[in-house]
Amino acid sequence: MKKSLAMTALVLATCIPIGLAAGTAVRRRAAGAAAQPLRQTVEKAFIAPDAEAQAVLREQDVMRYRGTEIRPHPDAGGPNIELQSRIGRLFALHDPPAPPARLAHFAWLDRPGVRINGWYGTIKNVVQEDDRTLVRVQVLPHLASEAGAVTSTTASYLETYAVTDDGVQFLESEAPQGGLTILMTD
């Protein structure tokens, strides 16, 4: 009961002001003047009035799906960094679904209170091939904890994709050999 009252209060106290603060106010000129709207952008962001409402907003943000974030290899430089950054943007834009083998590899994370809410990784290798680019990526899960704790794992998965301006196509994958797979929570 307390949570439903808190959520009702949150909706009344935050959603309406957020909608107004995020939008643009429109006013009409006085009668007789041209009917062109005057626009005034509201610049102040709304801050929830109490700690409980702020905690609910933080939890919603932590649990939201984050998509696929692929970053360039740490040693990439010059034209390689530009190409790998472009590849990362294409992954974010197309957000390819996780292959079944990756989901099976990370099935051990399916436990109460922990949720995979997206994927991130690093480009390991790039090979130009005719009209496409072959990309080897080390992928890890973005994890969220319902308790709000920082949650991560050292487990990763290696995947190869064909990347073009039209999309990202999964080709093959393999689990890395050796190493510990640890789930860490704060």
Higher pLDDT, 70 or 43: 70
pLDDT of residue 24: 33
What proportion of the chain, given as a percentage, has pLDDT over 90?
A: 35
Q: Transcribe 18-79 into DSSP letters.
A: HHHHHSEEEEEPPTTS--PEEEEE--PPP--SSHHHHHHHHHHHHHS---EEEE--TT--HH
Q: Retrieve residue 124's tokens.
A: 């390991």
Tens digits of residue pLDDT in 136-177: 999 999 888 777 666 778 888 999 999 988 889 999 999 877
The reply to whether the predicted model has a pTM over 0.75 is no
Token code pair at residue 43: 């610049």
CA distance 99 to 121: 15
Render pLDDT for 55-80 as a digit per residue (tens, 0 to 9): 555 555 656 777 899 999 999 988 89
Burial of 46 from C-beta contacts in 10 A (0-12 / 13-18 / 19+): middle
Q: What is the C-alpha R_g of the chain?
A: 23
* 130-138: long-range contacts, CB 8 A cutoff, minimum separation 24: 131/164, 132/162, 132/163, 132/164, 133/83, 133/87, 133/162, 133/163, 133/164, 134/160, 134/161, 134/162, 134/163, 134/171, 135/87, 135/160, 135/161, 135/162, 135/163, 136/160, 137/70, 137/91, 137/161, 138/176
Q: What distances in angstroms separate CA 148 from CA 2, 48, 61, 151, 184, one per listed residue?
A: 20, 18, 10, 9, 13
